[in-house]
Amino acid sequence: MKKLNIISVKEPMSTLRPRVDFEIPAGDTVTDALLFQHDDPTAAIAVRATITEAELGSTILFKRLRPDGEIWTDPVTIKYLPYFIDTDYCRTQKLFVSASGPLKGSYYVGRGWCPE
């Protein structure tokens, strides 16, 4: 009889909230909208998004508040459609987004884990 290896079960790598559909009409702008926040200074914020309608070359700007109070910005330029964003912002406690329309799609956001 074969010996079985015991597999340890860990917490999920991320805890994403339910999908959110969004649409920013042409001419409208969203500035520093809070996407997610948590209190753990060692954790990440996970973002999974699909952009289905946008002007090619337009930019989505993510701002993240780090535990030391620094604010880092990460621009994402839409190069093709559909466009997928799949990232974890490590050691981030608050994540804000700014964008201009037309922009349409959906996203999941939640707490992620950083490699140690």
In this predicted structure, the answer to whether residue 4 has a pLDDT above a threshold of 80 is no
Domain membership flag for residue 4? no
Q: What is the pLDDT of residues 10-40, one digit of tens each?
A: 555 558 999 999 999 999 999 999 999 999 9
The H or E element that residue 47 is part of is strand 44-54
What are the backbone angles phi and psi of residue 59, rounded to the nearest 5°?
-125, 140
Give the model confidence (pLDDT) of 91-103 as tens digits: 999 999 999 999 9
Q: Answer whether residue 1 is part of any domain.
A: no
The domain of 99 spans 14-112
Instruction: Report if residue 45 sits inside a domain.
Output: yes
Residue 34 is assigned to a structural domain of this protein:
yes
CATH at residue 77 = 2.60.120
Does residue 113 surpass a pLDDT of 70? Answer: yes
Query: Looking at the domain assignment, is residue 53 inside a domain?
Result: yes
Give which of 102, 78, 74 is closest to 89, Cα–Cα: 74
The domain total for the chain is 1
pLDDT tens digit string along 27-77? 999 999 999 999 999 899 999 999 999 999 999 999 999 999 999 999 999
Q: Which residues lie closer than 8 Å to 95 by C-beta, 6 or more apart?
A: 34, 35, 36, 37, 45, 47, 62, 63, 64, 65, 89, 109
Task: Look at the chain and count its residues.
Answer: 116
pTM of the model: 0.84
Within a domain: residue 2? no
